[in-house]
Amino acid sequence: MATTDPHGELRDRVLRSVLDGPGATEPSLRHAVANGRGAPAELQELVDKVHRHAYKVTDADIARLQGTYSDDQLFDIVVSAALGASQRRLVAGLDALRDA
Protein backbone atom coordinates (compact mmCIF):
# COMPACT_ATOMS: atom_id res chain seq x y z
CA MET A 1 0.00 0.00 0.00
CA ALA A 2 1.45 3.35 -1.00
CA THR A 3 1.14 6.05 1.59
CA THR A 4 1.57 9.73 1.14
CA ASP A 5 1.52 12.56 3.59
CA PRO A 6 -1.31 14.83 2.40
CA HIS A 7 -0.10 17.57 4.74
CA GLY A 8 3.60 17.22 3.96
CA GLU A 9 4.00 20.55 2.21
CA LEU A 10 2.31 22.48 5.01
CA ARG A 11 4.23 20.58 7.66
CA ASP A 12 7.51 21.30 5.90
CA ARG A 13 6.64 25.01 5.73
CA VAL A 14 5.98 25.04 9.48
CA LEU A 15 9.26 23.23 10.12
CA ARG A 16 11.21 25.72 7.99
CA SER A 17 9.46 28.67 9.60
CA VAL A 18 10.17 27.51 13.15
CA LEU A 19 13.75 26.41 12.54
CA ASP A 20 14.89 29.05 10.05
CA GLY A 21 12.58 32.02 10.61
CA PRO A 22 12.97 34.89 13.02
CA GLY A 23 13.30 33.89 16.64
CA ALA A 24 14.94 34.60 19.96
CA THR A 25 17.63 31.99 19.24
CA GLU A 26 19.91 31.34 16.31
CA PRO A 27 18.64 28.95 13.64
CA SER A 28 21.68 26.72 14.25
CA LEU A 29 20.58 26.17 17.85
CA ARG A 30 16.99 25.47 16.79
CA HIS A 31 18.21 22.92 14.25
CA ALA A 32 20.45 21.25 16.85
CA VAL A 33 17.64 20.85 19.38
CA ALA A 34 15.24 19.68 16.65
CA ASN A 35 17.78 17.00 15.74
CA GLY A 36 18.19 16.09 19.41
CA ARG A 37 21.95 16.49 19.38
CA GLY A 38 24.51 19.23 19.21
CA ALA A 39 22.83 21.54 21.73
CA PRO A 40 24.97 23.22 24.39
CA ALA A 41 25.61 20.88 27.32
CA GLU A 42 23.35 22.81 29.71
CA LEU A 43 20.40 22.31 27.33
CA GLN A 44 20.93 18.68 26.42
CA GLU A 45 19.01 17.25 29.40
CA LEU A 46 15.94 19.33 28.52
CA VAL A 47 16.27 18.50 24.83
CA ASP A 48 16.55 14.78 25.59
CA LYS A 49 13.52 14.95 27.86
CA VAL A 50 11.42 16.73 25.22
CA HIS A 51 12.47 14.19 22.59
CA ARG A 52 11.89 11.11 24.74
CA HIS A 53 9.33 11.97 27.44
CA ALA A 54 7.94 15.46 26.92
CA TYR A 55 5.25 14.89 29.54
CA LYS A 56 8.00 14.70 32.15
CA VAL A 57 9.25 18.27 31.57
CA THR A 58 8.69 20.22 34.76
CA ASP A 59 8.78 23.83 35.88
CA ALA A 60 12.06 22.98 37.62
CA ASP A 61 13.61 21.95 34.28
CA ILE A 62 12.76 25.36 32.85
CA ALA A 63 13.66 27.29 36.02
CA ARG A 64 17.12 25.70 36.01
CA LEU A 65 17.80 27.33 32.63
CA GLN A 66 16.17 30.72 33.20
CA GLY A 67 19.38 32.23 34.54
CA THR A 68 21.05 31.53 31.19
CA TYR A 69 18.19 31.74 28.70
CA SER A 70 15.25 34.14 28.43
CA ASP A 71 11.69 32.86 28.38
CA ASP A 72 11.53 33.61 24.63
CA GLN A 73 14.71 31.61 24.02
CA LEU A 74 13.40 28.70 26.09
CA PHE A 75 10.16 28.80 24.12
CA ASP A 76 12.15 28.55 20.86
CA ILE A 77 14.18 25.67 22.27
CA VAL A 78 11.20 23.66 23.55
CA VAL A 79 9.11 24.21 20.40
CA SER A 80 12.03 23.31 18.14
CA ALA A 81 12.78 20.15 20.13
CA ALA A 82 9.12 19.12 20.14
CA LEU A 83 8.74 19.77 16.44
CA GLY A 84 11.89 17.81 15.67
CA ALA A 85 10.73 14.88 17.81
CA SER A 86 7.30 14.87 16.17
CA GLN A 87 8.89 14.98 12.71
CA ARG A 88 11.06 11.97 13.53
CA ARG A 89 8.04 10.00 14.78
CA LEU A 90 5.94 10.93 11.77
CA VAL A 91 8.62 9.88 9.31
CA ALA A 92 9.10 6.57 11.16
CA GLY A 93 5.35 5.94 11.04
CA LEU A 94 5.07 6.78 7.35
CA ASP A 95 8.08 4.57 6.61
CA ALA A 96 6.47 1.70 8.53
CA LEU A 97 3.24 2.09 6.56
CA ARG A 98 5.15 2.21 3.29
CA ASP A 99 7.08 -0.93 4.19
CA ALA A 100 3.99 -2.84 5.40
Phi, psi of 80 (to 5 degrees): -65, -45
Band of pLDDT at residue 93, cut at 50, 70 and 90: confident
Please state the domain count of the chain.
1
Examine residue 31 and state whether it is found in any structural domain, yes or no. yes
Q: In the prediction, which pLDDT does 4 show?
A: 65
Examine residue 1 and state whether it is found in any structural domain, yes or no. no
Domain housing 58: 9-99
Stretch 71-78: mean pLDDT: 97
Q: In the prediction, which pLDDT does 1 show?
A: 44
For residue 2, pLDDT over 70 is answered with no
Examine residue 93 and state whether it is found in any structural domain, yes or no. yes
Q: In the prediction, which pLDDT does 3 show?
A: 53
| Tens of pLDDT, residues 4-21 | 667 888 888 999 999 999
pTM to 2 decimal places: 0.88
Examine residue 21 and state whether it is found in any structural domain, yes or no. yes
Examine residue 2 and state whether it is found in any structural domain, yes or no. no
Distances (CA, A) of 49 to 34, 46, 93: 12, 5, 21
C-alpha span between 76 and 25 (Å, rounded) = 7
Q: In the prediction, which pLDDT does 73 show?
A: 98
Examine residue 4 and state whether it is found in any structural domain, yes or no. no
For residue 39, pLDDT over 60 is answered with yes
